[in-house]
A and B are shown apart, each in its own frame.
Chain A
């Protein structure tokens, strides 16, 4: 579907996610497994905090001089005989790609996993062509394709929401008659895909890093499918976001280290490929090499408080630590880019009208910021989005907005706060009921609980009980005054 992966309203997506026990269990298990793998891989490297700073400085440098690096890269691609196309929009990118396929008389397209091509929704465009077949060759993307083009729910593990039984059912449609052992199913997929690779005439890949000083692209994969997609077909089309550059191989090596350890908890991915237009005397690689460099509103972040999000290397570590992602999964976000990075990036790429809820779908626990290998202050950027929506665009209206402004007044005026302290117990008494207390100690103010409070309190009491606030005479300030009058000493 492109950037937006669902037409359902946010609350319905959350409700759906809450119901999906399979997905919930799969995601939790994957997060926990990745936790150990990732932390071990980082510890093994040593000096992890210094590596992060190095990664950050490389990425910040590239973003700062982005026009220069884009020019250097495209010059070098062309010097090797390749072609570069700068696409402002997804439509421009799609038109260009479809045109190349037509010109090259391509009929069998094989794709390796790429978030940017998903952003283009190129699969759907290719499906519409009568004489062109399209095959996703990344195992997870292949599973999604065969499940009637289910939407990906993670930027590194697109089928994280599916378990092995579901995959077995999907593969049965393709003639698989084995058990649910991942190894057996992978072998089946490998055999199935291999035949199609040999027939392919167009390969579409993403790009982990584009090397500016050589015009090569760097791909990191574990399945080797990207290498087949770039070496077997005569024509390769690379699609990349405009920010995915590094100055040279030296920096690529550092970024690959950060990426593999953060994304999959490995020292390096099984295949680390640097490739481009086939040169004279080389035996493989594409004879026709095209690079599509997509903006799609990325440039809107340049020079703004959101510029740091362009440092992102799409490792997905922030998704893997996120407690909200753990609960609602990728589909809950309704964006191709879910999780903390998605909540920051989606409103920039797709606008606040479509993705304005996402920056609020975070408890600001900062697990994302803590894990990010290139030090993007993700939770702070979420607050920045909220500020834009609230203060600048005035998108907040109604009762909640009014209440938040009351909270602002109440927490800045000592007089009003003293009034609140004085009347809090009495003021909430219409909503206070006697109720059995099972959570003791904090909740023993006469056993009275607020169970369906007014206004914002209602959001709280939809989920949990609220103890009735203490009477003013029991307040800490009152006690302290008395305590001080008595000499103020504790023995």
Chain B
């Protein structure tokens, strides 16, 4: 199975380890992985800030880049960026700079191929246990865009459930945004501060040592606030968890494990 990595600008700029872990997990599960060279960013920073005219070239570049390599699936380490690529066909309806509709046509293909990392493992590869082990107490932060725009509420919880020696504690107020919101965190930092502080308090209350999420943006926000407050936490993207102390003999398919429990706040 040929998989293209949709790197996201944030992973490229800030969190290379996430990409490495993602590639290693996917290759271990039998995928042939490649990285389209010219990809940059999904366009959310400008689009969501109202700079819509400036966003069309960003999306066009991303469409060209991701279409440049033949693949079966596109896999992304961020729920938010996955969701926006899925929405490209809806957004490009208003694009005046695509008169022939060539970008729209490509966007529809890409949109059907893209998956967020955890949902790709569970729903496409059909893998429930990646063979990982992590001896700690963790809590999971659910990102808003992955949950509400992409509609994925379950796969991270299900995969974490199968990580050996990992205890996942439920996070109070899991439905509330951490205050990242892309440029919101910068432009409206007074409000963002109140939101992220409240998130830090809820995470602390779980007693977890590790915070896991599927969105690097949220992790950078929450982790940055933890560090500013001088409070201890270990920040892990789910790819890092699933690539931790792996014993390949423990890898199990979805059909080989008991049916998972419902995720919180369905």
Interface residues of A (CB under 8 A from B): 11, 14-15, 18, 35, 321, 323-324, 326-328, 360-367, 369-370, 383, 385-391, 396, 400, 404-405, 407-414, 417, 420-421, 424, 435-443, 449, 451, 456-457, 459-460, 462-467, 469-470, 474-477, 479-480, 483-484, 488-491
Contacts and interface: CB of A to CB of B under 8 A. Distances in A.
Q: Which 10 A-B pairs rank lowest in CB-CB distance, beginning with the nearest?
A: A363-B181, A386-B50, A464-B224, A408-B54, A459-B186, A390-B50, A476-B19, A365-B144, A365-B177, A411-B41
Contacts of A483: 20, 23
B55 interface: yes
Contacts of B14: 442, 467, 469-470
A488 B5 CA distance: 14
Best-buried of A400, A410, A490 by chain B (most CB within 10 Å): A490
A408 B57 contact: yes
Nearest to B199: A323
A438 B233 contact: yes
A366 B191 contact: no
Contacts of A460: 185-186, 189, 224
A367 B40 contact: no
A241 to B, nearest CB: 27
The B contact surface, by secondary structure, is: helix
Interface stretch (B27-35, B114-122, B154-162): B27-35
A436 B230 contact: yes
Best-buried of A420, A438, A489 by chain B (most CB within 10 Å): A438
B52 A390 contact: yes
Contacts of A469: 13-14
B50 A383 contact: yes
Interface residues of B, number: 88
Nearest to B145: A366
Interface of B: 5, 7, 9, 11-16, 18-20, 23-25, 27-28, 32-35, 37-38, 40-41, 43, 45-55, 57-58, 60-61, 65, 144-145, 148-149, 175-177, 179-196, 198, 219-221, 223-237, 240, 248
Given A366-B149, A411-B9, A414-B61, A404 B46 contact: yes
A464 B228 contact: yes
Contacts of B236: 441-442
A327 B175 contact: no
A367 B191 contact: no
A438 B227 contact: yes
Nearest to A321: B175
Given A386-B49, A463-B193, A476 B7 contact: yes
Best-buried of A385, A437, A460, A479 by chain B (most CB within 10 Å): A460
Best-buried of B12, B45, B236 by chain A (most CB within 10 Å): B12
B41 A439 contact: no
Given A386-B50, A441-B240, A477-B12, A360 B188 contact: yes
A383 B48 contact: yes
Given A411-B9, A460-B185, 17 more contacts: A363-B185, A364-B48, A365-B177, A366-B144, A405-B54, A408-B46, A411-B46, A412-B60, A417-B9, A417-B41, A439-B223, A439-B226, A441-B234, A460-B186, A464-B227, A465-B227, A477-B12
B181 A438 contact: no
Nearest to A368: B148
B16 A474 contact: yes
A390 B50 CA distance: 6
B224 A466 contact: yes
Contact of B181 (A18, A364, A408, A441): A364
B191 A414 contact: no
Contact of B191 (A328, A404, A462): A328
B48 A365 contact: no
Given A323-B195, A327-B198, A390-B51, A365 B24 contact: no
Given A405-B51, A436-B230, A443 B235 contact: yes
16 contacts: A14-B191, A365-B145, A390-B51, A390-B52, A408-B54, A411-B45, A420-B13, A436-B230, A438-B231, A439-B223, A441-B240, A442-B219, A460-B186, A476-B18, A480-B35, A488-B32
Contacts of B181: 362-365
Best-buried of B34, B176, B177, B227 by chain A (most CB within 10 Å): B227
B178 to A, nearest CB: 8
A479 B15 CA distance: 12
A390 B219 CA distance: 29
Contacts of B148: 365-367, 369-370
Contact of B190 (A18, A387, A443): A18
Nearest to B33: A488
Contact of B57 (A15, A390, A412, A484): A412
Contact of A364 (B5, B32, B184, B234): B184
Contact of A323 (B51, B176, B220, B225): B176
B191 A361 contact: yes
B90 to A, nearest CB: 9
Contacts of A327: 191, 194-195, 198
Contacts of B65: 414
A360 B231 CA distance: 30
A318 B60 CA distance: 34
A420 B49 CA distance: 21
A327 B57 CA distance: 36
Nearest to B235: A442
Contact of B224 (A407, A436, A465, A480): A465
A449 B193 CA distance: 18
